[in-house]
């Protein structure tokens, strides 16, 4: 927790008390997730990063599996996130379905996404239909990322002040501004 939580700044919270309560809540939910299920076999993957060249997308897809466990006929993918929403779950489900089909030639039996802030688990059962839909979805995202002029720039300080990547964002803006000025 210390390694990953140190990237989160106290100023993103209402107070130091709120910061430490959130940290305690997330830690508690993570420990509950990791200790309530009995694991019969060692994990198939444990925090493993994989890359695969996706000809259909014309790009390389890279994923890190926190945990993949053996199941009766296949394997189960588990993803632990601080917070989730429907769009993030859809993106992850699509990426995993496409990636597993292309890299391993097999879909996982199920995908479990844990929201550590809420202590909830969402379970998805991927199908072959998810692979074709996932390819379309990932291609759409790739096309959007390649056209930055279509991004909506916000002048909202509330959005920037609550963003955990604020420092990195401003560093990127300064680097790009320096490159622009030098040309």
* pLDDT greater at residue 153 or residue 4: 4
- Rounded to two decimals, the pTM is 0.72
Instruction: Examine the pLDDT at 169 and tell me if it is beyond 60.
Output: no
What CA–CA distance (Å, rounded) separates 133 from 181?
Answer: 43
Is the per-residue pLDDT at 161 higher than 90? Answer: no
For 35-44, what is each residue's pLDDT tens digit?
Answer: 887 777 788 8
CA distances from 151 to 53, 60, 92, 120, 165 (A): 26, 23, 22, 32, 17
């Amino acid at each position: 927790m210390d390694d990953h939580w140190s990237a989160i700044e106290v100023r993103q919270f209402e107070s130091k008390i709120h910061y430490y309560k959130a940290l305690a809540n997330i830690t508690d939910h993570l420990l509950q997730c990791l200790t309530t299920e009995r694991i019969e076999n060692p994990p198939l993957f444990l925090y493993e990063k994989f890359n695969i060249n996706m000809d259909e997308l014309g790009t390389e897809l890279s994923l890190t599996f926190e945990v993949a466990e053996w199941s009766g006929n296949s394997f189960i993918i588990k993803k632990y996130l601080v917070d989730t929403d429907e769009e993030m779950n859809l993106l992850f489900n699509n990426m995993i379905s496409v990636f597993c089909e292309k890299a391993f030639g097999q879909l996982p039996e199920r995908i479990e996404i844990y929201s550590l802030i809420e202590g909830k688990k969402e379970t998805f059962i991927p199908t072959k239909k998810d692979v074709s839909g996932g390819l379309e979805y990932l291609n759409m995202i790739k096309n959007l990322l390649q056209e930055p002029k279509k991004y909506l720039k916000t002048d909202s300080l509330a959005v920037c002040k609550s963003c955990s990547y604020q420092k990195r964002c401003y560093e990127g803006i300064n680097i790009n501004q320096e490159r622009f000025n030098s040309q």
